[in-house]
Amino acid sequence: MGAAMIAEGIRTRQTVIDAMLAHARAALPEECCGLLLDCDGVIDEAIAATNVRHSPTRFEIDPRDHVAAIRKARATGRTVRAAYHSHPAGPPGPSATDAAEMGDPSLLYFIVSLQDPAAVHAFRWEGGNFSAVPIVPVP
């Protein structure tokens, strides 16, 4: 996915946004986490993962879940395009911990905040910082 495509926004199925919000609520009080699959430039599936940290302020995707998501993507002609996690009591922006523990810089990062109102925001890592990427919901 090129930089121009990201600048215009990341097309994301509304069902994926809804799934991330539901996962975040179900995981309370811990952070949830997972991976997002892309098909032809559209994020079309959220794959919930186990947070092996079991923490309300940190996450780490279970490596077995990560491998399973990669295998599913390959088997279905898709790619793992993004990771997501929640901030159960914080804003939908990257924290200092997120920056310090950022994993794969080639992935986009979606953050789900359960503050009122609940929201999902996307970011990319560039030049040592996160920058916002618009989410474009699609049916």
**CA dihedral for 56, 60, 61, 63, sign (positive or negative):** negative
Number of domains in the chain: 1
- The CATH number linked to 45 is 3.40.140.10
d(CA 57, CA 47): 20
CA 128 to chain centre: 18
- Residue 51 is given by DSSP the state B
- Domain enclosing residue 9, as ranges: 3-138
Dihedral in degrees, nearest 10, Cα atoms 75, 45, 78, 4: -170
Going residue by residue through the chain (139 aa), what tens digit of pLDDT does each one get?
A: 444 456 689 999 999 999 999 999 999 999 999 999 999 999 999 999 999 999 999 999 999 999 999 999 999 999 999 999 999 998 889 998 988 888 888 999 999 999 989 999 999 998 889 999 999 999 9
